[in-house]
Structure 1
Amino acid sequence: MSKAFLIAAPWSNSGKTTLTLGILRWFLNQGYRVQPFKCGPDYIDTIHHSTAAKKPAINLDTVMMPKEHVISIFNKYQQASDISIIEGVMGLFDGAVKDQGSSAEIAKLLDIPVILVVNASSMAYTIAPILHGLKTFDPEVNIAGVIFNFVKTESHYVFLKEACDVVGIPSLGYIPPNEEIAIPSRHLGLHIDHTFENVIEKAASHIANNISISKLLESIKDTKNGRKEKPVKEIIPKTKTIAIAKDEAFSFTYLENLKWLETIGNIIYFSPIHDTKLPDADYIYLAGGYPELHLQKLSKNTAMRAQIKAAADRGVTIYAECGGMMYLGNTIIDEDSVAYPMVGVFPLNTSMEGKKLSLGYRKVVWNDLEIWGHEFHYSKVSGDDTILSTGKVFSARGKEVLTKIYTYQNVYASYIHLYWAAINPNSILSFLFQSKSTSNTDT
């Protein structure tokens, strides 16, 4: 058996993530092979999904990725599982432009059913026209069932079930509020700590005790094998070494990006917090993460800071995104206005004071290459007026935005988390990690 379904909602804050984590863990505990996926560019939810399923979660995004690539990676991972569960993004039809990149678009593309989770805490029979609208707006989206969240009593649920009966969508049950499965938030998303395992286990039990898992399985169908991308004959010799920062400060990566890097080089990991020696490498990748939560440790590791600065000065290719970019600046300023010295490759300062969210899809046009990514941060930059930048950056609607890609020697840094896994590794357009490979360590 191989089944798949997508957990979506009419609107945000309906409990998609908690439901996804709990169901993933419940199936895992019953001995199923589970595979988690996440609609959209989110790199935090995938960390939580991976914890719940004990298997890496995969992003599916029809804005950052060609549709053929989405189909290919879904097939690649779901075929080795019994149950594939995709967590949707925002409301069911919410996309970058209309429904582009939405949960609905992903469900249609992969031909999988949708299970709706609805926050019905302040709603009764009025849910009927809402469900009717969701069901009929796009008949190609198969809404196979509804789970009502934050419902306290059976008498309340009666109204909701009657609405489902009228609309013709199966009701799979309701989930009462439970503070023990509430997931605390951080400024960039969900917070990971030592209690997380207990929360997931409690969520699994609470959800399974209140909804019909058997009815859920009956409402979804076996998955079909879709199209696959044509295999690319590898002609790039893996003679290069890529050092990737990975620790509690730098952890926001797309798994398929890492797989892509494995096709062009040998991967080694290092920690800017704990290690005092930078590995010998041709390329250095400083991923995003939470550097602002570890400023003292990062700043005190002067040996690592100095070696990264020296590598940049001698021409090693370094690519840094978001938190990695912040680390390459002169300082990071915390919420209390305390400045912590960082690497100093770029004469910029990033600050967490007066936090304001910046987010959105970004298309980077760099030489002849177009590559998509996503920007999501609360910090702001100052002191970057004299820094060279490259390329142009556009929003999903084609409007040029002010986000820069900073350059120094062979260093490239930006707030944007790029998705390069869909780019042919053999192409001369394979972006930064291939563009100047011959000159990095020979100087």
Structure 2
Amino acid sequence: MKYQFLISAPSSNAGKTTVTLGLIRLLMKQGLRVQVFKCGPDYIDTKFLGQAAQRPAINLDIFMMGKDHVRELYHHYSATADVSIIEGVMGLFDGANRMEGSSAEIAILLNVPVIMVLPAKASAYSVAPVLYGFKNFNPSVTIAGVIFNHVNTLSHYNFLSDAAHDVGVAPLGYIPVQETIKIPSRHLGLQLERNDEELVSAIATHLEKTVSVENLLRATGQNNSKENVSMQRYNQVQDARLTIAVAHDEAFTFTYHHNIETLCTKYNVVFFSPLRDAVLPQADIVYLAGGYPELFLRKLSDNVLMRESLGRYCQEGGKLLAECGGLMYLGKSIMDAAGEEYTTVGFLDLKTSLADRALTLGYRMLHYNDKVYCGHEFHYSTVKEETIPDSIGHIRNAKGEDVRMKLYRKKNVVASYMHFYWGNGNDLLETLFS
């Protein structure tokens, strides 16, 4: 048997990630191999879901990747697993445009049943019409079960269980409120920096008391008939390859697993740390991914040797792609939330600040050289241009509307707040640096 399901909810902050982390560990305790996926472009949740599963978690995003590639990724990475778990994004039907790109659309695309996480702190039998609506809104979505969150007593759960039975959705258990398993958040993602394993174990222990893993598997099992999808067209390693240096440390962590896998087929990939290394490694291209440079400003600023090495590389015509946190680091300075300014590389004539936090997020499409490259934008910092750098391409959101964000180009450096996806084999880097 193979087991597969998508964890979703009516909205964000319903407990999807907590439930997913706990189920990953409980299933692994039974000796099952678990592959975990995350709907949407989020880097942060994916990181910790992968840590819990002890294998890389994979993003599934129809907007950025396209349906064919999402299908290929899912079947490729789940082929060696006994259980495939997809954590949804936002509410079940929330997409970039109505339900386009939503968790529901992914569940339909992959023919995966949905397990709902339904907060029920102040509800009883009235959850019946809520569940009925989710079950019947789109007949192509299969709601295989429900786990009720914020339920402290068995008597309360019995009312909820009756409601679920009456609308034909299997009740799989409930989760009492427990302060010690609350996951702190940073921005829209997780913040698990210490005692990650301890927290995941605590969540699993808590869920094990009141959630039936046996009934979950019964509701989501199927014969081992998963589609065998070849990833060969992405995995063919080129012979004469250039070297790409990828920034990777605590400050620069926002990379998609399959983006890096794809780079490894096209380039010799080396990693470096702007926090700790003194010089940039020898490379034909540098990739400064996003992350949380604002949490390490003192250390980044104090590493003068790396700042100078990176600045020389850029001034001498080195090819470099910088995304979000990488853009911030290449500027003259970054101001933290308290208003203190830290010197950074200084190649771009701009400064960024978190003193006046302004959330900007959404899918983005870069129209460049008659092609479209997809990604997303998510940041709280603002940018102040001193000398306006050249910009290239035309950037729109998921509805085709123009956005304020620019793709800057100075010499052979390309930088913006946009996080790109190229794991589907597009030629973004070749196009930018040909």
TM range (shorter): over 0.9
Matches within 5 A, 1:226-375: 226=227, 228=229, 231-232=232-233, 234=236, 236-375=238-377
What's the offset of the Cα at 1:230? 6.9
Distance 2:128 2:19 in 1: 22
Aligned residues: 432
Distance 2:148 2:260 in 1: 37
Q: Which residue of 2 aligns with 1:391?
A: 393
3-state SS, counterpart of residue 14 of structure 1: coil
3-state SS, counterpart of residue 391 of structure 2: coil
Q: Which residue of 2 aligns with 1:162?
A: 162
* 1:46 is the counterpart of 2:37: no
Question: Relative to structure 1, is the Cα distance of residues 412 and 384 closer, same or farther in structure 2, using a 3 angstrom cutoff?
Answer: farther
Match for 1:228: what amino acid?
A: V
Q: Which residue of 1 aligns with 2:23?
A: 23
* 1:146 is the counterpart of 2:146: yes
Q: Which residue of 2 aligns with 1:217?
A: 217
What's the offset of the Cα at 1:225? 2.7
Matches within 5 A, 1:413-424: 413-424=415-426
Q: Which residue of 2 aligns with 1:78?
A: 78
Structure 2 contact 274–306 (Cα < 8 Å) conserved? yes
What's the offset of the Cα at 1:356? 1.7
What's the offset of the Cα at 1:433? 4.5
Mean alpha-carbon deviation: is it higher for 144-153 or for 415-424?
415-424
What's the offset of the Cα at 1:423? 2.7
Deviations 1:223-280 (A, max 9, x none): 6433736743848434211100000000011111111111110111000001112100
Deviations 1:337-379 (A, max 9, x none): 1110001110111100121211000011111220110111100
3-state SS, counterpart of residue 64 of structure 1: helix
Structure 2 contact 237–266 (Cα < 8 Å) conserved? no
Question: Relative to structure 1, is the Cα distance of residues 435 and 356 closer, same or farther in structure 2, using a 3 angstrom cutoff?
Answer: closer
Match for 1:211: what amino acid?
A: V
- Percent identical among aligned pairs is 49
Question: Relative to structure 1, is the Cα distance of residues 188 and 110 closer, same or farther in structure 2, using a 3 angstrom cutoff?
Answer: closer
Deviations 1:378-437 (A, max 9, x none): 00101255111111111101101111111111111111111111134xxxxx12256535
Q: Which residue of 2 aligns with 1:5?
A: 5
Q: Which residue of 1 aligns with 2:63?
A: 63
Match for 2:95: what amino acid?
A: G
What's the offset of the Cα at 1:197? 1.3
Distance 2:263 2:61 in 1: 19
3-state SS, counterpart of residue 260 of structure 2: helix
Match for 2:299: what amino acid?
A: K
Structure 2 contact 279–310 (Cα < 8 Å) conserved? no
Match for 1:312: what amino acid?
A: C
Q: TM-score, normalised by structure 2?
A: 0.97
Q: Which residue of 2 aligns with 1:378?
A: 380
Question: Relative to structure 1, is the Cα distance of residues 217 and 352 closer, same or farther in structure 2, using a 3 angstrom cutoff?
Answer: same
Match for 1:225: what amino acid?
A: K
Deviations 1:8-58 (A, max 9, x none): 001111100011011111212322111110001001000110111111000
Distance 1:436 1:176 in 2: 54
Match for 2:428: what amino acid?
A: F
Question: Relative to structure 1, is the Cα distance of residues 144 and 331 closer, same or farther in structure 2, using a 3 angstrom cutoff?
Answer: same
**Unpaired runs of 5+ in structure 1?**
425-429, 438-443
Q: Which runs of 4+ in 1 moved over 4 A?
A: 233-236
3-state SS, counterpart of residue 285 of structure 1: strand
Match for 2:52: what amino acid?
A: A
Structure 2 contact 76–230 (Cα < 8 Å) conserved? no
Structure 2 contact 7–117 (Cα < 8 Å) conserved? yes
Q: Which residue of 2 aligns with 1:440?
A: none
Match for 1:24: what amino acid?
A: I
What's the offset of the Cα at 1:106? 0.5
